[in-house]
Amino acid sequence: MGKKVAILTDSISCIPKNLTRQYEIGIIPLNFYANGTIYKDGIDVSPYEAYQIFLQDPDAFKTSAASPGDFLQEYRALSQQNKDIICVLLSAQLSVLYNIANTVAAQVRMEFPDISVIVLDSQTAAAAEGLIALAAARVASESKNLDEVIKVAEKVRDKVSLIAYMDTVRYVYRSGRIPRIAAVAGSMLKIKPLFDFSSGKPHFIGAVRSKKMGIKRMLDEMKKKVGMSPVHVAVMHVYAEDDARRLKETVAKEFNCAELWLTEFSPLMGYVCGTGTLGLAFYADD
């Protein structure tokens, strides 16, 4: 039995595969349904392929959480070579994942009394959640103990931010943040909303009339929070890679980046946000 702390997260965290491999981060795939088929996020199809399916018939695209069996399989596998497991998950206010993970963790603790399984509510989503898991995994890779890894994860959780610009309000009413009638009116007026994440859920922070203005607003909000401190940044997109690459270049020029990577929103978030969405997840070093 090893003494390393294993890190597990869900596919919503959208951590690039090269980083999950490097830091041995386990991923629980969420599910979506389309064309009568069940897909496991990031396993059966890539995000790009999933968005192509989504665009064919957005209203037929349905999402669901991972099953208890998925968690049980991953917990058991990790327990073979690790003494402790930390599972960093999508905000408990947005999904039943947290409850499922805790229920299954109790079962695993009975099977393996010497194993600690800690389920951590990230209180956020997307790459902001991913940055928490990644920070924990880096500390775990240094053979730090469970308490030290939890402390780092909680510290990053308390300061990580997520800001998103949506190119359309057509789908966002599904999140409950905007009533359907407002979404329809906003679509007619070509209003593009911006959201941030705090206290475990998204909050509407304003609207703009163009993508250029939306990107400027995101960058301005980021500057208010981090200034020129060394900052860890993830640039996210929904089926908008060219725009995201340009945004990444701008971030690299305008900020003191200790870490900067590009990723795609999970299709399960793209389902709510819509194609064309751009986002920034970030936190500053002390």
Q: What is the pLDDT of residue 212?
A: 96
DSSP E strands in the chain: the ranges are 5-10, 26-28, 31-34, 37-40, 62-64, 84-89, 116-121, 161-165, 192-198, 201-208, 231-237, 257-264, 278-284
Under 8 Å between Cβ of 279 and 164:
yes
Query: What are the angstrom distances between the C-alpha of 98 and each of 9, 65, 103, 115, 193?
Result: 11, 10, 9, 19, 28
Q: How far is residue 264's CA from residue 262's CA, in Å, rounded to a whole number?
A: 7
Q: How far is residue 104's CA from residue 64's CA, in Å, rounded to a whole number?
A: 17
Which residue in 77, 27, 68 sits closest to 266, CA to CA? 27
Domain chopping of the chain, boundaries:
5-30+65-158, 161-284
Q: How far is residue 25's CA from residue 195's CA, in Å, rounded to a whole number?
A: 28
Q: What is the pLDDT of residue 180?
A: 53
Which residue in 242, 238, 241 sits closest to 266, CA to CA? 238
Dihedral of CA 35/37/41/44: which sign? negative
Q: What is the pLDDT of residue 185?
A: 46
Q: What is the pLDDT of residue 171?
A: 63
Sequence-distant (6+) residues with CB within 8 A of 164 are 126, 194, 195, 196, 202, 218, 236, 273, 277, 278, 279, 280
Question: pLDDT tens digits, residue range 189-246?
Answer: 578 889 999 889 888 888 898 999 999 999 999 999 999 999 999 999 999 999 999 9
Q: What is the pLDDT of residue 182?
A: 47
CATH, domain range 5-30+65-158: 3.40.50.10440
Q: What is the pLDDT of residue 175?
A: 53
Q: What is the pLDDT of residue 1?
A: 43
Residue whose entry in the numeric block shows the structure tokens 């931010």: 161
**Would 5-30+65-158 and 161-284 be classified into the same CATH topology?**
no
> Token pair for residue 215?
């990107």
Q: What is the pLDDT of residue 46?
A: 84
Q: How far is residue 286's CA from residue 207's CA, in Å, rounded to a whole number?
A: 32
Sequence-distant (6+) residues with CB within 8 A of 69 are none
Helix ranges (DSSP H) in 141-210: 146-159, 180-189
Predicted TM-score (pTM) of this structure: 0.92
Q: How far is residue 264's CA from residue 252's CA, in Å, rounded to a whole number?
A: 18
Query: What are the angstrom distances between the C-alpha of 194 and each of 9, 34, 222, 248, 255?
Result: 26, 28, 13, 18, 21
Residue 5 C-alpha from the chain's centroid? 21
Instruction: Please give the CATH topology (third level) of the domain spanning 161-284.
Output: Hypothetical Protein Tm841; Chain: A;domain 3 (3.30.1180)
What's the CA angle centered on 74, arms 52 and 45, to 5 degrees?
10
Which residue in 285, 241, 245 sits closest to 51, CA to CA? 241
Q: Which residues of the chain register pLDDT less than 70?
A: 1-3, 170-189
Q: What is the pLDDT of residue 70?
A: 93
Q: What is the pLDDT of residue 33?
A: 85
Under 8 Å between Cβ of 137 and 7:
yes
Under 8 Å between Cβ of 68 and 104:
yes
